[in-house]
Chains A and B, each alone.
Chain A
Amino acid sequence: MRLRLLAGVLSLLFLAVLVGAWHLATLPKGAAAAADSEYAKLVGAQAAVGAKSAFPTPADLGRKLAEHVSDPFYDRGPNDKGIGVQLGYSVARVLLGFLLAALVAVPCGFLIGMSPLVYRALDPFIQVLKPISPLAWMPLALFTLKDSNVSAIFVIFICSIWPMLINTAFGVAAVRREWLNVASTLEVSPLRKALVVILPAAAPTIMTGMRISIGIAWLVIVAAEMLVGGTGIGYFVWNEWNNLSIANILSGILAIGLVGMLLDFLFSRLQRAVTYTE
């Protein structure tokens, strides 16, 4: 308890130091020579002459965040949607791609884990496919699927499938022999054995795979949305770069971090729910 309190205080201290340093670094400096007029238009007259930093101060970001939080779900056309709406698009894509991947990976992993033959036969494919950056699939997906949104979901699908597949296969293959023997002596049917013995026995390993997958999917969706455009938090960040609104970019980055943390927390809870002690 004392340790937690102390850690909390220390965390706040680190935050204060960080924000303080940031604040000092972005303090307005004395007026300098007149700047290029084009540049002034872009970053604002004050920043251009150096009176104000082009990088937002903590207070600027605070104001921006307050704006986003007070109205996260507005929709004023294709290039002006609330940050909540954009996050919603991203989360929906991630969950959909992840769910499809789970539907494929868990049964396939079961099969691979149960059969040493299938395992050996599929291993070379998995070893080659696994290290491919999911974004490398994007052009192929766009060409075959002919839809940017579906392609983004496909990229999530392809990147979430490997950790789940490998962990499921490993978990299933590592189920203790004696539990299977118990099921055999009780003449349990193969289906019941898979659901009542193997699945719960392998569940912690499978959930670990799922947690890794959702983490990777959340990393990948940002890049994927920067490529396909239209909607999503990745597109939001890229669009704000085009608008040269650093404060908005920072808001987007912070939101990505928070949602990623939330997803991981959710899966850590699920993981704890299926973990057993021997």
Chain B
Amino acid sequence: MSYLQVQGLAKRFGTSCIFEGVDFAVQKGEFVCIIGHSGCGKTTILNILAGLDAASAGAVIMDNREVAGPSLDRGVVFQGHALMPWLSAMRNVAFAVRSRWPDWKRHQVHLHSQKFIDMVGLTGAEHKKPSELSGGMKQRVGIARAFAIQPKMLLLDEPFGALDALTRGNIQDELVRICAATQQTVFMITHDVDEALLLADRILLMSNGPAARIAEIVDNPLPKPRERQQVHHDPGYYRTRNHLVDFLVNRSKTYQLEEYRNEARRRRRH
């Protein structure tokens, strides 16, 4: 039994179907990325996993329990950093820590929050408000906040989408390091094929909407630990990368047609 199981998930608004028949599983300690074009419902899937949105059909089961609403078991890093602008970086993290452990003393909350602020490399900036932080630093605070509650699973909604390449690289390195250290189970949305190859153990490819599906699940063949500076020298790197890019450029559009033809061929054979 997998740690997280998603079965027959679908989301419809009236007559229009965003996605349907979405099935996948995530093992404990696994890092899974989902790639697809805008509008295919990636964020909706993540919100359903988080318990912030309800599916039209299907079920999400985590740790043998059905996901019925938001929970401290699943930490979310939002697309926009979603920090509270009136609180300092430290107090944003402390807000989450206090929610997770309401009985903790102020000192304990502070120590724990500081540990995670240090972990994302923001030591010294903890008393700054989000408006005084750069985009990358804000996203780091968001990551620290999600990790600080030590959730069973982490959900990342395109966390680095709005960052410049250099900052993005640095934070990706941090994320690799932190995930390796904490054995965190992660589900992450991305647009970036290289990011997926660096971070993910498995990559879910989603076809275009409407009625999007998971077209293919690609196992990342690159051995761990992967490093950003080294990973593209691996002989298997470009083969997998090309496969992913081909999917995004061509097959994501034609996938449904492809499926339809396959189905017809199968029928003809019988």
A interface residue numbers (CB < 8 A to B): 176, 178-179, 181-182, 184-188, 196-197, 200-201, 203, 274, 276-278
Contact = CB atoms under 8 A, between A and B. Distances in A.
A278 B52 contact: no
Q: Which of A182, A184, A276 has the most CB of B within 10 A?
A: A182
Contact of A186 (B69, B86, B99, B131): B99
A187 B71 contact: yes
B84 A185 contact: no
A206 to B, nearest CB: 13
Nearest to B79: A178
B84 A181 contact: no
Contacts of A197: 84
Contact of A276 (B70, B99, B131): B131
Contact of B76 (A176, A185, A274): A185
B74 A185 contact: yes
Nearest to A182: B82
A203 B86 CA distance: 10
A196 B96 CA distance: 12
A185 B75 contact: yes
Contacts of B51: 184-185
A49 to B, nearest CB: 68
A185 B129 contact: no
A187 B52 contact: no
A155 B161 CA distance: 54
B131 A184 contact: no
A45 to B, nearest CB: 67
Nearest to B69: A184
Contacts of B76: 181-182, 185
Contacts of A181: 50, 52, 70, 76, 78, 82
Do most interface residues of chain B lie in helix, strand or loop, or is the interface mixed? loop
Closest 8 CB pairs of A and B: A186-B99, A178-B82, A276-B86, A277-B131, A184-B70, A276-B85, A185-B70, A278-B85
Nearest to A277: B131
B95 A186 contact: yes
A176 B80 CA distance: 11
A144 B99 CA distance: 49
Interface in B207-225: none
Nearest to A203: B86
Contacts of B82: 176, 178-179, 181-182
B72 A187 contact: yes
B149 interface: yes
A200 B72 CA distance: 23
B52 A186 contact: no
B99 A188 contact: yes
Contacts of B80: 178
Given A181-B76, A277-B129, A186 B85 contact: no
Nearest to B50: A185
A205 to B, nearest CB: 13
A179 B99 contact: no
B61 to A, nearest CB: 18
Given A276-B131, A277-B129, A278-B131, A185 B52 contact: yes
Contacts of B75: 185
Nearest to A186: B99
A184 B52 contact: yes
B84 A186 contact: no
A187 B50 CA distance: 12
B78 A182 contact: yes
Contacts of A276: 85-86, 129, 131
A171 to B, nearest CB: 13
Q: Which of A176, A200, A276 has the most CB of B within 10 A?
A: A276
Nearest to A176: B82
Interface in B149-187: 149
Contacts of B50: 181, 185
B18 to A, nearest CB: 18
